[in-house]
Amino acid sequence: MKIKQVLVLVIFLAGTLLANAQGGGSPRRSAEERTKAAMDKIADFKLDKDKSDQADSVFIQSYRLQDVKRQEMMAGGSPDRDKMRSEMQKISADRDEKLKKIFTEEQFKKWKDEIEPSLRPQRPGGNGNSSS
């Protein structure tokens, strides 16, 4: 009887670890949370109130649109990953065109090279690069 209990416990723990490793462990952040994170990261740009409000508006609209598109594509069951990636890239490109009008050239470069990559969710289990 003890062996069955241990086996059930091991199976339960393995299932829990597997679910967490596949992204089941943390919920997606809201558009508002992602906007706040972006605005916190660009704080050192020292934008005036008008430009800061414009940037905030661009971020919230972009993140909300991403959420809507993601929900639409997930509603059909198994989404087409390539199509979803394409849609998200279009939304990001539109956002970036708007940000170019708000940021200086140097600020936009910092946004693209440093800040934007740091805001992407990190996947557990490595970076996917091979060293061969």
pLDDT one-digit tens code per residue, 51-106: 999 999 999 999 999 999 888 888 877 778 888 899 999 999 999 999 999 999 99
Range of the domain at 51: 29-119
Length, in residues, of the chain: 132
Number of folded domains in the chain? Answer: 1
Residue 79 confidence (pLDDT):
77
111 inside domain:
yes
pLDDT one-digit tens code per residue, 70-80: 888 888 777 78
Q: Concatenated DSSP letters for 50-99?
A: HHHHHHHHHHHHHHHHHHHHHHHHHHTSS--HHHHHHHHHHHHHHHHHHH
Scan for tokens 């670890």, then name that residue.
17
66 inside domain:
yes
110 inside domain:
yes
Pairwise CA distance, residues 85 & 96, whole Å: 16
57 inside domain:
yes
pLDDT one-digit tens code per residue, 5-39: 655 555 655 555 555 444 455 578 899 999 999 99
100, HSE (Cβ side, Cα atoms, 13 Å):
6
42 inside domain:
yes
